């Protein structure tokens, strides 16, 4: 929580090994210590890193948390998920703005404070929430905002703010093997070393562990394939010319300089799906389990380096995670010759994101780790063969690594004993919205939606958005469906909506989210997400017709057929699913016409009215007041 | 023995490592595309060349051909999607064909004709985009940019200059140049660069040559883009 000092560019660049692949981290440090990333900084960075300025600018302008213009000494970003709206976010934001005499998205006149929105910051169980200079403040209400306004007016440095503002409880309501049982750091590693890597892989296979990020790819298959793939060090041993992997996005030459090990372990902690916050809790209170899972993976695939890609919104976890890593190094659980095993060398570095949901997609995440805009690569090849620095890389979700540690420690059979045959083990569910007890529920796979609703005290539930905007919206008619890969796969989000909620507004919020988070690489997603957002806004303004409903279905088909990655494929789901399941929410907004233009003819005359100083009847289009 | 796959029922030979697009072009079969150019590394962003590969949809410019593959391209459904993508490109920018120097030589316009696009269909975005006329010989007209990154690739991979890049994200993505001022004049751009002539639309054009060839006698004025040998595409090279 630094006040902004003079920005020491050479120092920051040196801290990141003068490596352009670390550009996102370098820009983060610049942003954090200077408050902005001014244009001349880009030139200096280009010189220091020896890459063209245009590439630095491409990265600097891609991420939401980087900006060239000043946001003052206090940058306040309100979390903008529908759950925050339901908890009164808009009114609270207006309240704070009034207290501080400013308008949103406009630096205050004294240059002190800036207020804006940002995508869900992973605190849906403690909504509404905000980021102050990148640090999360949960459970906002009038009294907290009064205090914050006071602190800002007194120009109190963030480091001196009352710590209670930044306290974030885990809210674990139901524990399980990951969140409810003690873990001795090193236990899984000892078992792995004793058992051997082939056997550990066999246990993982027997456990039938599937990726917890939502896609459900079998972890043992991914690890085995990555282990088999030849990395740089192995390629060098071949007599023939080295195999050249295609660069990201079909050919950009990689700036990567190989630093040691040829295989990499990457932990995807870019938990950006609105309504999901289980990785926040795992990293806050069970980081050892996660790091140990990564180390087991390193042992199996032969990696020397691991990376955690922590979403920028979880900046407040950074120091804590670093101290866990330091403790593990002291105990010989990271570093050289781990647990005395000669040649078992592995260490973990944490990289922070900078406000880009798309970086949760594994190949976009790798691009971001390499200092580029987070745009998904063309696949194949997949990361298991050609990932970070074009080397074989395992990318797994935080929860997957935690599960892998438990499997290594206790064996596959114990793990597979819970859940369903196709979806073994437990799943962390992040419950938020209209319920008495929002928080984390670790449940065995196969549990019904209804059971979770009973546990969390959601008596009036009408709809649940499972796995966030990119997941599935289910109505009260489907509450007997099960959380499982074979029925309702989920990354963990579970947003509950009561009978009073307007499901149209839920979907409209999600279309705004996707339009904001589309990376812009492919045509269908770049344009399609904006078309969807505009059409939903048109309906909200009372100008919708049956024609628009069909249009949105058409756009959904194009997105599903043509988009480059999962973001585009799923971006229309919330609209189409709510249209199907809650038609009333849409129909009451439609004009009974075949078509209604978005263009407001009378509104277009407003400028002319202002210029002429007229507002009489004849200065308006008839019938449009 | 040569390996083959079928494209709309036609047998297409291919060499190991070739993409579906490359093999199809070599066999004289046109697949609509905008960001692809045979001289540059595949990009896969415009998605116009999406085909059905054994039941799965994928860009033909980035998916490698494989023996026995069954590929469909000229289907009613795929062409409807392609038309919609082209319409999306039209409404996200400001494409005023009648006043554009590139009209008749423009691939966006030609693809739109080929796909039977009669209207923009979607509501126009009318974005405010910059024109950069600072350079003595080359004009950047961002209203016409479709973000295909051909200039980015040409400048980086052929000219070795890295003059172009894409800044911003989502619908706000925009063409940026390699100078602190953001002006093309302050880069080492030359009108002789490959990047100066590779633009499929009129977004990057040499100055003072707009009407050297009069409208009516231009590349796509009398022929469909599918029949015109554009830089090796649509023209058989192996028979």
**3-state SS track over A210-244:** ECCCCCCCEHHHHHHHHHHCCCHHHHHHCCCCCCC
Average pLDDT of chain B is: 94
Q: Which residues does chain B have within 8 Å of residue A522's beta carbon, measured at their own beta carbons?
A: 44-47
Above 90 in pLDDT, residue A268? yes
Q: Do B171 and A356 touch (CB under 8 A)?
A: no
Residues in chain B within 8 Å Cβ distance of A530? 92, 125, 170-171
Q: Is the pTM of this model over 0.95?
A: no
Fold of B3-74: Ubiquitin-like (UB roll) (3.10.20)
Burial class of residue B222 (count of CB atoms within 10 Å of its CB; 0-12, 13-18, 19+): exposed
**Is residue A3's pLDDT more than 50?**
no
Residue A511, chain B, CB below 8 Å: the answer is no
How confident is the model at residue A255, as a pLDDT? Answer: 34
In this prediction, residue B231 carries a pLDDT of 47
Task: Say if residue A23's pLDDT is above 90.
Answer: yes
User: Do the domains A174-230+261-416 and A426-501 sit in the same CATH topology, yes or no?
Assistant: no
Residue range B123-138: mean pLDDT, rounded: 97
Q: How does residue B228 score in pLDDT terms, banded at 50, 70 and 90?
A: confident
Question: ω into residue A128 within 30 of 0, thus cis?
Answer: yes
User: Which among B171, B126, B128 is positioned nearest to B147, based on CA atoms?
Assistant: B171
Residue A236 has pLDDT above 70, yes or no: no
Q: Residue B163: its chain A contacts at CB < 8 A?
A: 54
Contact across the interface for A251 and B42, Cβ inside 8 Å: yes
Q: Which residues in chain B are closer than 8 Å to A357, comparing Cβ atoms?
A: none
Q: How far is A244 from chain B (nearest CA, A)?
A: 13
Mean pLDDT of chain A: 92
Closest CB to A561 among B57, B157, B173: B57
Token couple for B85: 């993508």
Q: What is the pLDDT of residues A485-514, one digit of tens each?
A: 999 999 999 999 999 999 999 999 999 999
Chain A, residues 370-389, CB within 8 A of chain B, namely 373, 378
Determine the average pLDDT of the residues in B89-112. 96
Name the fold adopted by A504-587: de novo design (two linked rop proteins) (1.20.1440)
- d(CA A617, CA A625) in angstroms, rounded, equals 9
Percentage with pLDDT > 90 across chain B: 93
> In whole angstroms, how large is the CA radius of gyration of chain B?
18
Write A341-347 long-range contacts (CB < 8 A, 24+): A341/A193, A344/A193, A344/A299, A345/A304, A346/A265, A346/A295, A346/A298, A346/A299, A346/A303, A346/A304, A346/A305, A346/A306, A347/A304, A347/A305, A347/A306
- Could you report the per-residue pLDDT of B11-20, keeping only the tens digit for each? 999 999 999 9
Q: How far apart are CA A569 and CA A556, in angstroms?
A: 8
| Percent of chain A with pLDDT strictly greater than 90 | 87
pLDDT of residue A5: 52
Residue A484: burial class (beta carbons within 10 Å; 0-12, 13-18, 19+): buried
| Residues of A in Cβ contact (< 8 Å) with B166 | 58, 373, 520
CA dihedral B71, B73, B76, B80 (to 10 degrees): 130
**Complex ipTM, two decimals?**
0.96
Q: Where along chain B do the CATH 3.10.20.740 domains lie?
A: 3-74
Task: Quote the minimal CA–CA distance from B217 to chain A in Å.
Answer: 31
Superfamily of segment(s) A74-158: Glutaredoxin (3.40.30.10)
Distance CA A338, CA A353 (A): 29
Cis? peptide before A552, omega within 30° of 0: no
User: What ranges do the domains of chain A cover?
Assistant: 9-60, 74-158, 174-230+261-416, 426-501, 504-587
Please state the rounded mean pLDDT for residues B118-141: 97
B125 chain-A contacts, CB cut-off 8 A: 530
CB within 8 Å: A373 and B166 = yes
CATH level 2 (architecture), domain B83-206? 2-Layer Sandwich (3.30)
Q: Is the CB of B166 less than 8 angstroms away from the CB of A40? A: no
SS3 category, A56: helix
Write the pLDDT tens digit of every residue in A345-375.
Answer: 999 999 999 999 999 999 999 999 999 999 9
Residues 241-300 of chain A whose Cβ lies under 8 A from any Cβ of chain B: 246-247, 249-252
Predicted pLDDT of residue A621: 80
Instruction: Compute and round to an integer the Cα radius of gyration of chain A.
Output: 25
pLDDT at A258 over 50: no
State which fold the A174-230+261-416 domain adopts. Answer: Rossmann fold (3.40.50)
Count CB pairs under 8 A between chains A and B. 131
User: Does the beta-carbon distance from A527 to B165 stay under 8 Å?
Assistant: no
Phi, psi of A476 (to 5 degrees): -55, -20
**pLDDT tens-digit readout, A48-87:** 999 999 999 999 999 999 999 999 999 999 999 999 999 9
Q: Is the pLDDT assigned to residue A6 strictly greater than 70? A: no
- Which residues are CB-contacts of A484 (< 8 A; sequence separation ≥ 6)? A419, A420, A422, A423, A445, A446
Q: Tell me if B170 and A520 make a contact (CB, 8 A cut-off).
A: yes
CATH number for the domain running over A426-501: 3.10.20.600
Position A594 scores a pLDDT of 74
Q: What are the beta bridge partners of residue A396?
A: A267
Q: Higher model confidence: residue A239 or residue A432?
A: A432
Q: Report the pLDDT averaged over residues A423-451.
A: 98
**SS3 state at A461:** strand
Q: Does A596 touch chain B (CB under 8 A)?
A: no
Chain A hits for B176, Cβ within 8 Å: 54, 57-58, 61
Q: Determine the pLDDT at residue B1.
A: 66
Nearest C-alpha neighbor of A132 from the set A74, A52, A65: A74
């Amino acid at each position: 929580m630094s006040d902004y000092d003079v920005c020491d560019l050479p120092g920051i660049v040196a801290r990141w090994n003068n490596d352009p692949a670390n550009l996102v981290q370098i820009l983060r440090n610049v942003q954090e210590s200077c408050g902005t990333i001014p244009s001349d900084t880009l030139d200096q960075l280009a010189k220091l890193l020896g890459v063209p300025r245009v590439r630095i600018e491409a990265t600097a302008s891609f991420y939401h948390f980087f900006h060239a213009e000043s946001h003052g000494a206090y940058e306040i970003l309100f979390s903008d998920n529908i759950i925050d709206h339901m908890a009164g976010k808009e009114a609270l934001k207006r309240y704070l703005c009034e207290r501080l005499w400013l308008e949103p998205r406009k630096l205050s006149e004294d240059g002190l404070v800036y207020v804006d929105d940002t995508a869900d910051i992973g605190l849906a169980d403690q909504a509404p929430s905000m980021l102050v200079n990148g640090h999360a403040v949960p459970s906002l209400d009038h009294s907290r905002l009064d205090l914050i306004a006071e602190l800002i007016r007194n120009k109190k440095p963030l480091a001196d703010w009352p710590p209670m503002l930044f306290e974030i409880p885990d809210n674990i309501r139901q524990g399980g093997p990951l969140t409810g049982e003690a873990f001795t750091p090193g236990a899984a590693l000892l078992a792995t070393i004793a058992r051997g890597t082939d056997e550990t892989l066999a246990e993982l296979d027997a456990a039938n562990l599937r990726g917890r990020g939502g896609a459900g790819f079998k972890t043992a298959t991914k690890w085995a394939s990555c282990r088999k793939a030849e990395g740089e060090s192995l390629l060098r041993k071949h007599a023939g010319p080295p195999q050249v992997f295609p660069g990201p996005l079909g050919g950009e030459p990689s700036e990567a300089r190989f630093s040691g090990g040829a295989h990499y372990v990457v932990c995807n902690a870019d938990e950006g799906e609105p309504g999901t916050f289980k990785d926040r809790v795992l990293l806050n209170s069970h980081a050892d389990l996660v790091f140990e899972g990564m180390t087991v993976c390193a042992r199996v695939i032969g990696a020397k380096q691991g990376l955690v890609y922590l979403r920028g919104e979880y900046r407040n976890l950074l120091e804590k995670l670093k101290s866990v890593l330091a403790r593990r190094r002291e105990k010989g659980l990271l570093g050289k010759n781990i647990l005395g095993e000669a040649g078992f060398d592995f260490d973990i570095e944490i990289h922070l994101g900078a406000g880009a949901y798309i970086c949760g997609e594994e190949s976009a995440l790798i691009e971001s780790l390499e200092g580029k805009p987070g745009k998904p690569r063309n696949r194949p090849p997949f990361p298991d063969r050609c990932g970070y620095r074009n080397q074989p890389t395992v990318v797994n979700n935080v929860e997957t690594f935690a599960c892998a540690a438990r499997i290594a420690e206790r064996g596959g059979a114990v793990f597979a004993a819970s859940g369903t045959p196709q979806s073994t083990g437990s799943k962390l569910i992040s419950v938020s919205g209209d319920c008495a007890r929002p928080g984390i529920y670790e449940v065995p796979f196969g549990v019904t939606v209804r059971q979770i609703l009973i546990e969390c005290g959601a008596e009036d539930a009408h709809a649940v958005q499972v796995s966030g905007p990119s997941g599935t919206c289910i109505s009260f008619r489907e509450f007997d469906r099960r959380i499982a890969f074979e029925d309702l796969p989920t990354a963990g989000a579970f947003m509950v909506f009561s009978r009073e909620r307007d499901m149209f507004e839920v979907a409209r919020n999600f279309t705004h989210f996707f339009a904001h988070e589309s990376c812009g690489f492919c045509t269908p997603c770049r344009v399609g997400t904006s078309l969807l957002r505009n059409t939903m806004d048109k309906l909200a303004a009372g100008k919708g017709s049956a024609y628009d409903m069909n249009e949105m279905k058409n756009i959904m088909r194009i997105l599903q057929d043509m988009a480059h990655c999962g973001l585009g494929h799923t971006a229309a789901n919330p609209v189409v699913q709510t249209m199907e399941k809650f038609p009333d929410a849409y129909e009451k907004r439609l004009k009974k016409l075949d078509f209604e233009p978005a263009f407001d003819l009378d509104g277009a005359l407003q400028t002319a009215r202002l210029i002429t100083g007229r507002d009489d009847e004849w200065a308006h289009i008839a019938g449009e007041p | 023995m040569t390996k083959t796959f079928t494209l709309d029922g036609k047998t297409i030979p291919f060499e190991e490592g070739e993409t579906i697009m490359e093999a199809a072009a070599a066999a004289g079969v046109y697949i609509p595309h905008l960001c692809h150019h045979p001289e540059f590394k595949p990009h896969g962003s415009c998605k116009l060349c999406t085909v059905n590969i054994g039941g799965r949809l994928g860009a033909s410019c980035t998916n490698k051909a494989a023996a026995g593959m069954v590929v469909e391209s000229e289907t009613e459904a795929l062409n409807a999607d392609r038309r919609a993508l082209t319409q999306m490109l039209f409404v996200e920018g400001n494409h005023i064909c009648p006043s554009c120097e590139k009209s008749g030589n423009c691939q966006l316009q030609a693809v739109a004709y080929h796909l039977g696009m009669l209207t923009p269909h979607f509501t126009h975005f009318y974005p405010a985009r910059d024109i950069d006329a600072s350079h003595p010989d080359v004009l950047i007209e961002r209203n016409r940019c479709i973000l295909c990154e051909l200039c980015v690739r040409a400048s980086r991979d052929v000219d070795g200059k890295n003059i172009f890049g894409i800044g911003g994200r989502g619908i706000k993505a925009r063409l940026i140049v390699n100078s602190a001022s953001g002006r093309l004049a302050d880069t080492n751009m030359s009108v002789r660069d490959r990047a100066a002539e590779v633009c499929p639309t009129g977004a990057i054009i040499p100055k003072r040559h707009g009407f050297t060839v009069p409208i009516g006698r231009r590349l796509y004025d009398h022929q469909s883009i599918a029949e015109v040998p554009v830089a090796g595409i649509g023209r058989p090279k192996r028979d």
